[in-house]
A and B are shown apart, each in its own frame.
Chain A
Amino acid sequence: QLQLQESGPGLVKPSETLSLTCTVSGDSINSDHYFWAWIRQPPGRGLEWIGSMYDSGTTYYSPSLKSRVSISVDTSKNQFSLNLSSVTVADTAVYFCARDVTRGGAFDVWGPGTMVSVSS
């Protein structure tokens, strides 16, 4: 059974870089050419797609975050990662990683999410 787990610091200072890792278990991150995505949810608000990666390196990013985001993969550890630079308090959110089974936004498996606060 496929499982995803986010990990990383729960507190980041303004202007610094937020770095999170998603560990995939129960299947290879290389299998079946799925997309792998990061999605976030500010407290009390809705979902926002951050970016997706497939084929171990091809990436799509949200236009509103594109200048600050990068997603990468470590196939040896079955992990993919998110870096978001120059963070502000507006980046405070629960960050989810997810699998996109149809490569069209059908996120069928999600991690439990990790809360990241941006504060000095």
Chain B
Amino acid sequence: SQQGEEDPQALSIQEGENATMNCSYKTSINNLQWYRQNSGRGLVHLILIRSNEREKHSGRLRVTLDTSKKSSSLLITASRAADTASYFCATALDSSYKLIFGSGTRLLVRP
């Protein structure tokens, strides 16, 4: 089974609303990363949070990390139609530099 599991699998919101996606993982990590993918294209890195960090911001993105619960969340504030995409978390394992992806959340932002 995959290291990272995202929740929900799909999310539909109105433009202007906030979108929250969650990621849970199983083993000790060096860092956790979030990516975006538009319709079968290459993934684009959004933000990286290290295991000793609890929260990080980048523009309209806010990521939290709770290593005790082995979970992370990605919040996109004031969503736009252009945010429609699939979002993936990826965990960089502590000991080996493996980068393992979850199954993703499909976000639809309705205009």
A is bound by B = no
A-side residues, CB < 8 A to B, are none
